[in-house]
Amino acid sequence: MAKLVLPAGLLVLLLLGAPMLLMLRYSFNVFDPLYLMKTAFTLDNYAKAVADPYYQKILTTTIVVALTCTILTTFLAYGPAYLLARMEGRWKSKLTILTMFPLLVGGVVRSAGYLALLSTDGLVNASLRSLGIISEPLQLLYTPGAVIFATVGIVLPYMILTLASVIESIPRQVEEAAANLGARPARSFFRVLMPLSLPGVLAGATLVFILCMNAYATPLLLGGPQFQMMAPAVYEQFARASNWPFGAALAFILLIVTVVLTSLGSSIIAKRYKAG
């Protein structure tokens, strides 16, 4: 078994590990406008990123948006995931394919679709005006709400499919036994189904949180110039400012914060699961 895993492991190490180590080395260099950067070993880039209120605000915004999107996605995904898991027959495969279909479209394309949906002359404003609910178009684009709304829509299929696979493994007899013992549907959900599906919640929330923390196209297209998140800020340093050392430091700060928060959340859910 180890021999079978070794080639894949080496490939991942080569394609992912080597560039990350190189980027880590860049983060300790010094920016030079003439030569791009000079070889050094300093923590000034990290100190600047941590101490600067501008980047503190960007990091805080990124964490708040990611947590908000993760919580909303978990609540919104549970119903469709349960329906998909308990469904039988040909409709189940069709709905599974329908759920997976948005994942076949790139994130930029999906964000552009939300751009058309929420614009001043988009479908939402046009519908509200035709119904006489509003007289002037609402400012839906270039707001935090637009970013959260679109991000949730983009990551929702991941959570639905992850939860559905776990709920499907929970025997129906468990819910039937709870109902026979007099448990109402809400009590059966919170006391039986929810604890048993916590591994799916953990896996889906972890995946969604990582995707939200590293979102690029959605905040860039729907948030506007005044709304900043970490991934676009990293790109800004590499592509426009040409400050590779500082951009690499921002990237690793984003990576460290994502890993720490993901590990913390996973440990809390795991402890609750064991306690239950």
pLDDT tens-digit map of 15-45: 788 888 888 999 999 998 878 888 899 999 9
- Identify the burial level of 109 via C-beta atoms within 10 angstroms of its C-beta, where 0-12 means exposed, 13-18 middle and 19 or more buried: exposed
Distance CA 214, CA 157 (A): 17
Token reading at 128? 């509200």
Q: Does position 2 have pLDDT exceeding 60, yes or no?
A: no
Question: Burial of 274 by CB count in 10 Å (0-12 exposed, 13-18 middle, 19+ buried)?
Answer: exposed
* Average pLDDT for the chain: 87
pLDDT digits (tens, 9 = 90+) for 75-131: 999 989 999 988 887 788 888 888 888 888 888 888 888 888 888 888 888 888 888
Mean pLDDT across the stretch 155-168? 92
* Cα 165 versus chain centre, distance: 19
What is this structure's pTM?
0.88
pLDDT for position 248: 95
Would you kindly state where each structural domain of the chain is located, as residue ranges? 55-275
Q: Is it true that domain 55-275 has CATH number 3.40.50.300?
A: no
**Residue 276: predicted pLDDT:** 56
Asked if 108 contacts 217 with a C-beta cutoff of 8 angstroms, the reply is yes
Q: What is the mean pLDDT of residues 237-256?
A: 92
